Amino acid sequence: MNTFTKNIYLFWQGTILSYRALFAWLRPVTYMASKILMPLAQMFFFVFLGSYATDGTATDFYVIGNAIQITAVSGIFGVTFSVGGDRDAGTLPYLFGTPANRFMIFFGRAFMHVIDGTIGVIIALTWGVLLMGLDLSRTDLPALGLTIIITTFSTCGLGLLMGCLSLLTANVMFVNNFVYFSLLIFSGANVAISTLPVWMQVVSNVLPLTRGIAASRMLVAGGSLSDVFPLMVSEIGIGLMYGLLGYFLFAWFETQAKQRGTLETV
């Protein structure tokens, strides 16, 4: 087995096992409930609140926005716990004591959550179609699928950065909640970005999800892949930027921990 194949194997093992380590304690029924009911609760809350506020004229706006935003559950919470779980398990010294490729270890932790987040969005959109009148008859479904995957990928990039923060502090749950709920506003899921104050629009533009939600709305309204292509390229760029920032923070953390002797005190 050459180095490349070994690294792919490491990536695959990391992605499968870290995901199982995170959710294996749940019974299948509990796991499915978390995947099906949680999106439904968020959709109900914001869609009916938004519809009430707009006299039912903008239901699709809230359905699509919240369905796509659901990906942040996997992208932010899931990825953070997958990376930060090593801190709680006390496995960091054993992880950093191996010769394994750090890039593969790091990004391997996020991969399964891209799939998981994509499934979460599909479930949420299904609720939208079945219960909230979302019409996908004019939608380029493959393009929408691609948009969902890319948006989930970019959100996982932010999750990787948050995961690294969780190696530095025990209070990352607070930060995670802050980011998750901020995304409900800043990503445009529930408020049109053009109506936000300028400084909030600036923040929106450097966050994942923003372009993904905008692109999804365009596709559901009948837009084509070429219409949303620029948004998708930017979304990938945003995801890579956060993912790489997270990776460099991860590498910096390892170096600092070895220099300062803080590997076990984090």
Partner 1 sequence: MNAIEVNHLRRVYRAQIGVFNRSIKEVVAVDDISFEVKQGELFGLLGPNGAGKTTTVKMLTTLLIPSAGSATVAGVDVVKGANEVRKKIGFIFGGERGLYWRLSGDDNLRYFASLYGVDPSVSKKRIPYLMELVGLKGRGNERVGGYSRGMKQRLHVARTLLHDPDILFLDEPTIGLDPVGAREFRNVILDLQSQKKTILLTTHYMFEADALSDRIAIINKGCVIAMDTPSGLKKHVSDLSVVEVETFGASETALEKLRALPFVDSLSIEDREQKQILLVQTTRGAEAVPDVMTALEGQRVGRVIVREPTLEDAYVRLVGGAA
Q: How far is the CB of 112 from partner 1 (least distance, A)?
A: 14
- Give min distance, CB of 2 to partner 1, in A: 10
Q: Is 224 in the site for partner 1 (CB under 8 A)?
A: no
By beta-carbon proximity to partner 1, the closer residue of 13 and 30 is 13
Contact 26, 81 (CB under 8 A): no
Nearer to partner 1, 100 or 241 (CB): 100
In the bound state with partner 1, the residue whose beta carbon lies nearer, of 6 and 138, is 6
Place of tokens 């921990």: 257
Paired tokens of 207: 């966050």
Rounded to the nearest whole angstrom, what is the least distance from the CB of residue 83 to partner 1 in the complex? 13
For the segment 68-97, give every residue that binds partner 1 (CB under 8 A): 85, 89-91, 93-97
Single residue of 38, 100, 203, 241 touching partner 1 by CB under 8 A: 100
Element (H, E) at 181: helix 172-186
| Half-sphere exposure of residue 178: CA atoms within 13 angstroms, side-chain side | 6
**Judged by CB under 8 A, does residue 237 bind partner 1?**
no
CB of 221 within 8 A of CB of 134?
no
Could you give the CA distance from residue 2 to residue 58 in angstroms, rounded to a whole number?
Answer: 55
Instruction: Give the H or E element holding residue 210.
Output: helix 210-220
CB of 98 to partner 1, least distance (A): 4
Distance separating alpha carbons of residues 232 and 234, to the nearest angstrom: 5
Which residues between 3 and 32 bind partner 1 (CB under 8 A)? 3, 6, 9-10, 13-14, 17, 20-22, 24-25
Sole residue written with tokens 């909030």: 200
Indicate the DSSP class of residue 192. Answer: -
- For partner 1, the binding residues (CB under 8 A) are 1, 3, 6, 9-10, 13-14, 17, 20-22, 24-25, 85, 89-91, 93-100, 105, 258-261, 263
